[in-house]
Structure 1
Amino acid sequence: MLYPLYVWKDKNSAYGASFPDLPGVFTAADELNALPAKAQEAAATMYEGETHIPEATSIEKWKDAADYADGYWMLVNIDRSRINTKPVRLNISLPENLLREIDAFAKAHQLTRSGFLAQAALKAMAR
């Protein structure tokens, strides 16, 4: 499904992007052509385990909004079938000190432990 992605770039920074239709989904990339893959990853992480993913709207709905005045728009295909909305419980063993570090990192980045581990796994598999 094609979602409007709002893109901006500040001087000496990466490209930032957000989806007005997917509140809370933000991403960034050093190269513009990397944004679609990063956007898919961000949407999958944000909506992991959710039962409802909002539908896409047209850019026309957002293009004149003041919050989106300083950037530009891209349409990005978000493959909703790659977003697993059904959580699966699993039992894993990790060293206690690693688990403490994971929890501290996740908390500092406003993630759940599961969200962080899923994001780390996706990143590792993308290499």
Structure 2
Amino acid sequence: MHYPIAVETGTGTQAYGVVVPDLPGCFSAGDTLDEAMDNAKEAIELWLEVAIDDGMAIPQPGALADHQRNRDFKGWTWGLVTVDLASLSDKAERINITLPSRVLRRIDQAAKDAGESRSGYIARRALA
């Protein structure tokens, strides 16, 4: 899953600020752009973990182009942070399932199109 992030450029005395528009209240910062990006990924993962633990639906990422038109973020830099929902579970369990080949091919193609692993795609769809 790829979440758009808005990055407000830092200065010599101010950190880079990061906002995740699709996750209300999810924000981060960093002294460097690289640190801000790393911290944004951590903030997103923590936000999603809490949402999963609380049984909330996981918000789908909005289109980057739609967010870029938001006047609140005029002049900000944009990026994408990739998160695999399957990695957010406390405990991974290996399972064995049987599916028709054509269904498995559709799942694999959808996961590839979403930039996710098969497990991550199935987990995200189940939590949605």
Calculate the TM-score normalised by the size of structure 1: 0.59
Offset of residue 56 of structure 1:
1.0
Counterparts of 1:1-127 in structure 2 under 5 Å? 1-11=1-11, 12-47=13-48, 48=50, 49-51=53-55, 52-84=57-89
CA contact (8 A) 1:3 1:75 kept: yes
Q: 1:35 to 1:82 in 2, by over 3 A?
A: farther
Q: Deviations over 1:12-56 (max 9, x none)?
A: 211110111111100001121123321222123223223222111
CA contact (8 A) 2:15 2:29 kept: yes
Gaps of 5+ in 2: 92-128
Gaps of 5+ in 1: 87-127
Aligned residues: CA RMSD: 2.1
- Whole-Å Cα distance in 2 between the matches of residues 65 and 32 of structure 1? 22
User: Which has the larger share of helix?
Assistant: 2
Q: Describe the SS at the equivalent of 2:34.
A: helix
Calculate the TM-score normalised by the size of structure 2: 0.58
- Whole-Å Cα distance in 2 between the matches of residues 54 and 29 of structure 1? 25
Count of paired positions: 86
Q: 1:77 to 1:71 in 2, by over 3 A?
A: same
1:34 maps to amino acid: E
Q: 1:85 to 1:58 in 2, by over 3 A?
A: farther
Q: Describe the SS at the equivalent of 1:54.
A: coil
**Percent of aligned positions with the same letter in both sequences?**
31
Q: Which runs of 4+ in 1 moved over 6 A?
A: none
Q: Describe the SS at the equivalent of 2:86.
A: helix
